């Protein structure tokens, strides 16, 4: 019989000393209380984590949004499909405004926005999450004198990544440069758009499947397949998306965007837009320049307070450097510029 160091004096008919059976029952009851407390703490942690994500999740900030009739018409088309819960895939040339449009639309749904930027190295784990650490707990029981019972418990901590968070809590997902990720990484999207279930391949039991929240929306942006570094997404996935092809905005919209981003005067913005559009028309489709070089050019000209055709042609080669492939290509583009 096991004795305890001290005990409360019991009444007649009750055992004074704690028997082995009584001790097991007491310990089991205490263990259940601890498990219940742990469960409550886990729920509190999840709520805190959710609030933290909603308030602090890093998403590019929208500055100086410009909305003309052309922008509004395209925006409303995309929102119509998203209201019907269809994922939308915006396809267009570099610098045409796909990403900013996607972020603005996501913002107008008044739900937290999560952001994924695709590239060659993205894996399924980067989308859904994985185990961040494995914790080992050792338990030693001594119910009987000189008899030991050892037990090791492995606890793996799962960390959700953007896609899982969006599906669980009904966030709006913006997947930028979607087609730069390898198709195998995006296979996990198939069950989301067809069955409304996100499967977490490395999870077990009930936690392996996540029912997609009814407020979940997804917007994808990509360059056309002709661009370097682009992977063609699997047909089964494209079949579940609404693909909207977007080109560069009209002249009036581009002028207003440059004015908003640089605070330059209207006549100067128009001169820059005319030059950019003429140069764009002379280049092959995969080398077309977007509006971004025009914005950078307007900013540097405004800073120098010297805006003329001469200074525009002086700074333009520098903002176009990302589109130049070697000296021969540079000479060719300078020839086009000089003839404009």
Output 177 or 150, whichever has higher pLDDT: 177
pLDDT tens-digit profile of 164-214? Answer: 989 999 999 999 999 999 999 999 999 999 999 998 876 665 678 889 999
pLDDT tens-digit profile of 293-324? Answer: 889 888 888 887 777 777 777 787 777 776 66
Percent of the chain with pLDDT over 70: 79
Homologous superfamily (CATH) for 57-130+157-245: P-loop containing nucleotide triphosphate hydrolases (3.40.50.300)
Number of CB atoms found within 10 A of residue 53's CB = 18
Mean pLDDT is lowest, of 1-5, 14-18, 179-183, 221-225, for 1-5
pLDDT tens-digit profile of 267-278? Answer: 889 988 988 888
Residue holding tokens 């009851």?
29
Q: Beta strands 147-160 and 88-91: pairing type?
A: unpaired
Percent of the chain with pLDDT over 90: 36
pLDDT tens-digit profile of 14-49? Answer: 555 667 777 777 778 777 777 777 677 777 776 666
pLDDT for residue 7 is more than 70: no
pTM above 0.85, yes or no: no
Ordered by start, the domain boundaries in the chain are 57-130+157-245, 251-339
What burial letters (b/e) apply to 91-110, b meaning 16+ CB within 10 Å?
bbbbbbbbbbbbbbbbeebe
Task: Report how far residue 112's alpha carbon sits from residue 174's, in angstroms, rounded to the nearest whole number.
Answer: 11
């Amino acid at each position: 019989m096991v004795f305890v160091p001290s005990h409360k004096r019991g009444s007649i008919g009750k055992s004074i000393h704690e028997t082995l059976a009584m001790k097991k029952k007491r310990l089991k009851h205490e263990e259940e209380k601890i498990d219940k407390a742990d469960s409550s703490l886990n729920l509190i942690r999840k709520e805190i984590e959710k609030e933290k994500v909603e308030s602090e999740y890093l998403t590019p900030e929208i500055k100086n949004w410009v909305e003309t009739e052309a922008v509004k018409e395209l925006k409303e088309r995309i929102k119509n499909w998203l209201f019907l819960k269809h994922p939308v895939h915006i396809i267009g040339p570099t610098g045409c405004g796909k990403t900013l449009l996607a972020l603005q639309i996501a913002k107008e749904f008044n739900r937290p926005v999560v952001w994924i930027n695709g590239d060659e190295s993205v894996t399924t784990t980067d989308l859904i999450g994985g185990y961040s650490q494995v914790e080992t707990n050792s338990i030693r029981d001594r119910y009987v004198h000189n008899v030991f019972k050892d037990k090791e418990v492995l606890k793996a901590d799962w960390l959700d990544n953007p896609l899982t968070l969006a599906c669980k809590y009904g966030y709006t997902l913006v997947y930028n440069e979607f087609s730069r990720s390898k198709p195998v990484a995006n296979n996990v999207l198939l069950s989301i758009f067809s069955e409304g279930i996100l499967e977490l391949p490395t999870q077990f039991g009930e936690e392996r499947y996540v029912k997609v929240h009814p407020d979940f929306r997804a917007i994808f942006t990509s360059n056309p397949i002709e661009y370097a570094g682009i992977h063609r997404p699997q047909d089964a996935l494209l079949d579940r998306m609404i693909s909207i092809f977007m080109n560069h905005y009209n002249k009036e919209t581009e002028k207003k965007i440059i004015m908003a981003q640089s605070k330059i005067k209207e006549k100067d913005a128009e001169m820059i837009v005319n030059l950019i559009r003429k140069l764009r028309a002379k280049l092959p489709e995969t080398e077309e320049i977007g509006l971004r070089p025009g914005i950078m050019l307007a900013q540097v000209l405004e800073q120098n307070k010297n805006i003329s055709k001469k200074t525009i042609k002086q700074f333009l080669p520098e903002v176009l450097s990302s589109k130049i492939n070697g000296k021969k290509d540079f000479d060719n583009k300078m020839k086009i510029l000089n003839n404009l």
